[in-house]
Amino acid sequence: MKTCYFDYNATAPLRPEAKAAWLSATEDLWLNPSSPYRAAARVHAHLAEARSVVAGLFAVAAERVVFNSGATEANNAIFAHWAATLPANTRIGVSPTEHPSVLAAAQHFFGERVIWLALDGNGAVDVAALQHVLSERQLAAVSVMAANNETGILNDWAAIATACRAQGVPYHCDASQWIGKLPLDRLQTCDFLTGAAHKFGGPKGVGLCLLPAENSGFMSLTGGAQEFGHRAGTEDVAGILAMVAALQAVERGSAQGRDAFLVELGQVLPAVEVIGLAAPRLCNTALLIMPEFASVRWIRALEKRGFLVSAGSACSTGKQGPSPVLAAMGVEAGAMQRALRVSSGWATSVADWLALAAAMAECRSMLSSEADGSTSTVISI
């Protein structure tokens, strides 16, 4: 049975280009790039070239690029930096629909000094409302993601960056879901930008952070002078080169499969609700509120048919309570328990999307039969 993977927003398979780069670097570039001999200098040169490539893709100086273990590390480091350098008792503005690594870091370092930014009717940050708060000098920093990992809804990060710059307020943008799916143009206007390689076909445990041009004092990890003094620790050269290879290989996706799926799903399961249907969204993502039955039952039933989907953020799987993202958007608690996220990637065909719609219709019939007691089939939940 073919397995159709529909959870790219959680992680993507390793691209062939990334795998080849990783294997080559593991074989030939395993020396510590900070060692003093010439053989290590060759490794350092490859690392510098990778940084130069990333800097070129984002149109920034190489000194702004910091390689790390991923967006979670970078997000935490940025809030720690703000907590250490911003004036005491100042407040920061954070979107309530952020990834858990941002929400937890904001609350850990700033507690009640976090101002949760207002959302518009589509679930994106209300830029006009943010501009008003900024004009009243209420915020010392702002954090708003580029694209939501659960809903796929896009924030107008470019307008937010402009508004923050006009008030001299540093702006952090978690672009983990944007990078690899949408153009990188103008992302360098964000003061702090974070991303994770495994979201776009690189290896897990590797990521990047773009710092402001004036970035003195930022330090993610102490204990060494690596990454221009911003992050101590021997660099994962193989992982970094694989990440860069994946980033160079990405192609802009198409919404054709997702849209065809939603049309077909409307025919076979007309009671399904699509979150953010009227909003600009990632072309690969659909967050569905199923008409009945808990998310976990749908996930198990679909997996038996070869389709892997999720209920939302992979970083929240297994936790108790509703999705903070859907709660912030005003979704009713019962509906949250029936949420399914489907997200595709470069290996997903239109036929795969249509097969998923057909499988959902089959699962609905099967789950309904179980609820009626007309079958002995049991799905463990």
Q: Supply the residues annotated as catalytic.
A: 315
Nearest CA to 320 among 297, 342, 296?
A: 296
Q: Can you tell me the distance from the alpha carbon of 153 to that of 279, in angstroms, rounded to the nearest whole number?
A: 6
CA dihedral 314, 310, 98, 153 (to 10 degrees): 150
Say if CB 126 and CB 329 are below 8 A apart.
Answer: no
Q: Can you tell me the distance from the alpha carbon of 344 to that of 341, in angstroms, rounded to the nearest whole number?
A: 10
Residue 313: CB partners within 8 Å, gap ≥ 6?
10, 99, 100, 149, 150, 323, 325
Q: Can you tell me the distance from the alpha carbon of 194 to that of 206, in angstroms, rounded to the nearest whole number?
A: 11
Structure tokens at 9: 């927003």
Q: Can you tell me the distance from the alpha carbon of 222 to that of 63, in angstroms, rounded to the nearest whole number?
A: 18
Q: CB under 8 Å, gap of 24 or more: what pairs does 104-108 form? A: 105/75, 105/76, 105/78, 105/79, 105/80, 106/79, 106/143, 108/79
